[in-house]
Homo-oligomer: A and B are copies of this chain.
Amino acid sequence: MILSFAEMTTQASETPNKDIPEEINGLRMTRQRQEVYRFLMGERIHPTANEVFMGIKKALPNVSLATVYNCLEALVQHKIIRQVNFDREPSRYCPNLDEHGHFHDETTGTIHDVKFKPGINLTDLLDLPPNTVIKDIEITLRGQLA
């Protein structure tokens, strides 16, 4: 089968991804956004933008890295995924929206989600200035699985 140029560069409506809705949190899920999101959901590896790019190329051979960045940014802004940063390493992306931290295993380079024990309210443990409105908390651990 030979695809026309129009078919190859199609967006959302053709070749739909049945298991991903056409809209999430008010964001229209184009074909590219679907593939990016699907890849993140499937992998538990907190991939970088470039890893997403390479991972979805099989499904979307004409996708560009800029589009991957665009998609990731859109998904983050609509609170569909989270962006995670370790030091100055490339950003990683995470489909787990529960409040959680990240443990960076130095020996393998892998990243694991870390849940908080039940009933813990983090801001209770911190000596915050009065009248502080916290919008986001990020907890990062670095170490080794001995």
Q: Is A58 an interface residue (CB 8 A)?
A: no
Query: Which residues of chain A from 53 to 98 have any CB-CB distance to chain B below 8 Å in the complex?
Result: 83, 85, 87-88, 91
Q: Is the interface of A mostly helix, strand, loop or mixed?
A: strand
Q: Is A141 an interface residue (CB 8 A)?
A: yes
Residues of A within 8 A of B (CB): 83, 85, 87-88, 91, 101, 103, 106, 112, 114-117, 120, 122-129, 131-146
Q: Is the CB of B117 within 8 A of A125?
A: yes
Given A83-B87, A87-B83, A106-B135, also A126-B101 (CB < 8 A):
yes
Q: Is the CB of A146 within 8 A of B127?
A: no
Q: Is the CB of B145 within 8 A of A132?
A: yes
Q: CB within 8 A of A137: which of B87, B136, B140?
A: B140
Q: How far is the CA of A65 from the CA of B85 in the complex (A)?
A: 25
Which residues of chain B are within 8 angstroms of A101 by Cβ–Cβ distance?
126
Given A88-B85, A103-B128, A117-B125, also A133-B137 (CB < 8 A):
no
Closest beta carbon of chain B to A66's beta carbon, Å: 16
Closest chain B residue, CB of each to CB of A140: B138
Which residues of chain B are within 8 angstroms of A85 by Cβ–Cβ distance?
85, 87-88
Q: Is the CB of B133 within 8 A of A144?
A: yes
